[in-house]
């Protein structure tokens, strides 16, 4: 695999980052995951915009313009011959000469790393036909989940807790209401209405979420942006998650309780279909 690190395209085993990198020592960095369908990028503009916002909220210098970033994405897709898969991008505050809580001097260059992940069959995922099972866990993350930081230990532990419980993923709960999934936004469906938590500092502003809500409204579905509880979700007609890597994925069980008929529902299936079709058309 050819990867990108700080201006160079290299074989993955030759790509290196300093042990003093603040991403490594302090999780002082942000990331984006952009999906690839038919060798083209899905929603690049949305990801680039959110990246710029994450960087600006943390006062990390934006290392290059979006056009240059797009060029690197395309180059990696081409060099690695990616038809379906993902591109991971990470930017950290860089590598000063020592460990210090204080931010390094202005001139410290941010570290920029990108690599591809080939996922043949991403759009035709068997999991989407069966749906996934989730458990609920308390949301103990920090208060700025709208910034896409590389601080992913708790979401990673959440996936392990799900696995230990025989489930696929976890929905996080704070003050009695679902915030989001470990690496995705959470939704329920009641009749013709799609319910998902409103945007705030409590959740990541999903790029897939924005697209799916737009498609839902265009398809004359009702959208309610509000918090919901696990109990309400268990009694809903359908449930699903969205993310760049799963698109729209039906949820068929929550904390052991079957949702609806215990199979992917028509709304989630339709939204998945529309999302993939429209994203393919708009891909660049």
Rule CB under 6 A: which of 71-110 touch ligand PLP? none
137: closest CA among 117, 115, 157?
Answer: 157
Structure tokens at 51: 């990246």
CA dihedral 4, 21, 91, 62 (to 10 degrees): -110
Query: Is 185 a binder of ligand PLP (CB under 6 A)?
Result: yes
- E-strand ranges in the chain read 2-5, 8-11, 29-37, 40-41, 85-92, 111-118, 132-138, 169-174, 177-181, 185-190, 193-196, 222-225, 238-243, 247-254, 257-258
Among 51, 195, 204, 239, binds ligand PLP (CB under 6 A): 204
Query: Is 209 a binder of ligand PLP (CB under 6 A)?
Result: yes
Q: Which is nearer to ligand PLP, 91 or 207 (CB)?
A: 207
Structure tokens at 161: 């807790």
Catalytic residue among 40, 62, 133, 148: 148
CA distances from 149 to 63, 91, 129, 203, 248 (A): 16, 9, 31, 12, 23
Closest distance of CB 65 from ligand PLP, Å:
21
Q: Which is nearer to ligand PLP, 180 or 253 (CB)?
A: 180
Rule CB under 6 A: which of 236-265 touch ligand PLP? 242-244
Q: Write the CB contacts of 270 (distance below 8 Å, at least 6 apart in sequence).
A: 219
Q: State the Cα–Cα distance between residues 158 and 156, nearest whole angstrom.
A: 5
Q: Which is nearer to ligand PLP, 94 or 151 (CB)?
A: 151
Q: Which is nearer to ligand PLP, 92 or 183 (CB)?
A: 183
Rule CB under 6 A: which of 13-42 touch ligand PLP? 33
Which region, judged by CB under 6 A, interacts with ligand PLP, from 66-74, 121-129, 204-212, 261-269? Answer: 204-212
Query: Is 133 a binder of ligand PLP (CB under 6 A)?
Result: no
Instruction: Give catalytic status of residue 281 as yes or no.
Output: no
Query: Is 184 a binder of ligand PLP (CB under 6 A)?
Result: yes
**Which residues does the annotation mark as catalytic?**
148
Chain residues that interact with ligand PLP, rule: CB under 6 A: 33, 180, 183-185, 204, 206-209, 242-244
């Amino acid at each position: 695999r050819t990867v990108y690190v700080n201006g160079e395209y290299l074989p993955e085993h030759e790509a290196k980052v300093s042990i003093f990198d603040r991403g490594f020592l302090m999780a002082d960095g942000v990331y984006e995951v952009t999906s690839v369908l038919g060798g083209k990028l899905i929603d690049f503009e949305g990801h680039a915009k959110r990246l710029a916002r994450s960087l600006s909220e943390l006062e990390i210098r934006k290392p290059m313009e979006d056009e240059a970033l797009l060029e690197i994405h395309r180059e990696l897709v081409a060099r690695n011959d990616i038809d379906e898969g993902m591109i991971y991008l990470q930017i950290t505050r860089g590598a000063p000469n020592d460990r210090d809580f204080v931010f390094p001097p202005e001139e410290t260059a941010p570290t920029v790393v990108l690599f591809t992940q080939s996922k043949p069959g991403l759009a035709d995922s068997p999991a989407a036909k069966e749906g996934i099972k989730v458990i609920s866990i308390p949301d103990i993350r920090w208060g700025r989940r709208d910034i896409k930081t590389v601080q992913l230990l708790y979401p990673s532990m959440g996936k392990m807790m799900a696995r230990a419980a025989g489930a696929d993923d976890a929905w996080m709960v704070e003050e009695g209401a679902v915030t989001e999934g470990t690496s995705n936004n959470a939704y329920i469906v009641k009749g013709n209405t799609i319910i998902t938590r409103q945007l705030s500092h409590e959740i990541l502003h999903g790029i897939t979420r924005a697209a799916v809500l737009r498609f839902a409204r265009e398809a004359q579905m009702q959208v309610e942006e509000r918090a919901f509880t696990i109990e309400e979700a268990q009694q809903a007609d359908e449930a699903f998650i969205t993310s760049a890597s799963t698109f729209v994925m039906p949820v068929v069980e929550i904390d052991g309780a079957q949702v609806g008929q215990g199979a992917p529902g028509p709304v989630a299936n339709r939204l998945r279909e529309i999302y993939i079709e429209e994203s393919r058309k708009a891909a660049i």
